[in-house]
Amino acid sequence: MKITATVLETTDRDGDYRKTAPLRIVEIDLAPPGPDELLLKIEAAGLCHSDLSVINGDRPRPLPMALGHEAVGTVLEAGRVAAQSFEIGDRVVLSFLPQCGECERCISGEPYLCSRGAASNGAGTLLSGAVRLSEDGHPVHHHLGASAFASHAVVDRRSAVRIPADIPAEIAALFGCAVLTGVGAVLNTGKLVAGESVAIYGLGGVGLAALMGAIAGGAQPVVAIDPLLEKRELALELGAVAAFDTTASHDEISRALGGRPDLVVETVGRAAVLGQAFTLARIGGRIVTVGLPREADTLDFSPLALVAEGKSLIGSYMGSSVPARDIPRYIKLWRAGRLPVERLLSSVTPLGEINTLFARLHEGTAIRQIVKA
């Protein structure tokens, strides 16, 4: 079938995407779903730094590629195996790492580190190894098993989590990445204990979701660090006791917390910021890093603190989440008013404005922008 999709043919580090327009909105071909796959009508999709890192080349991916991974859709068709789990009309949120359930990591209870899923994502295919997208007979790669900046998508059944029918699309989409990653970084990876103090570096969609997760999990107190005043003000509205710009000293931050934090979450994706987060944590504290730095970046700090101060530096991919378990949990918290996910929304915009929206994301002025085809 013919669909509308957003295709990247070459990376663009310029950042002025309003002018360079690296993303083409084009009509391409979408093949029918295989046995384990679903055909979806995409309802809404969110812009994320994981998309931006493909556009600017920080995360090399095979091109051309149809971008978009944080999304919600409706099942239009299910393959023979997928039909055992999904029905036509089901609404699903997409997970950006399909989890095979069979590799060593999946069997060991760490499906967020699924080796098959990571390999297919890196190759730009679905979990089966297939590519269902093409333009003029030439393959167009899938982004994180989703390619959701589009009117339709074919995804593996293990990339989809069924959700209730009544959640607005622009809110539902956020649970697939920003909420899953940010809240999971605090509750799953950081193993927050109620009453612990938390500091959050970076207040994009993931950072603000982490802040919400900390508040929902009983953290006390919570502070946030970000260069933009508007984001700091939002953090205060969401429950942070203080919000600092990046010039604040560790002593200033510690005074607001009543001491060094038990848990520090870094979402910026810069090695220098991770170094600051590591230093800020208390003796015996935990530092969770979610941001995706460039491959060439290196971390410069004294490893003595890992032993002498008993600190733990922990990487968190996809919030150490099991999507089928955690997305329904977080939706329940949202319904209860404990995860005000709607506060992450910066705009809901037609797909045709996507280059301008990525320019805003590059500039850091947006939190979560949603597009609809």
| Single pTM value for the model | 0.95
Mean confidence (pLDDT) of the chain: 96
Q: Does residue 22 have a cis bond before it (omega within 30 degrees)?
A: no
CB 89: neighbour CB atoms within 10 A?
Answer: 9
The closest alpha carbon to 179, from 279, 328, 313, belongs to 328
What are the backbone dihedrals phi and psi of residue 18, each rounded to the nearest 5 degrees, phi first? -65, -35
Q: Show the domains of the chain with their CATH numbers.
A: 2-176+342-372 (3.90.180.10), 179-320 (3.40.50.720)
The alpha carbon of residue 344 and the mean position of all alpha carbons in its chain are separated, in whole angstroms, by: 13
The closest alpha carbon to 51, from 212, 211, 177, belongs to 177
176: DSSP letter: G
Give the whole-angstrom CA distance, residue 35 versus residue 82: 6
Tens-level pLDDT at each residue, the chain (373 residues):
999 999 999 999 877 899 999 999 999 999 999 999 999 999 999 999 999 999 999 999 999 999 999 999 999 999 999 999 999 999 999 999 999 999 999 999 999 999 999 999 999 999 999 999 999 999 999 999 999 999 999 999 999 999 999 999 999 999 999 999 999 999 999 999 999 999 999 999 999 999 999 999 999 999 999 999 999 999 999 999 999 999 999 999 999 999 999 999 999 999 999 999 999 999 999 999 998 887 778 888 778 888 899 999 999 999 999 999 999 999 999 999 999 999 999 999 999 999 999 999 999 999 999 999 8
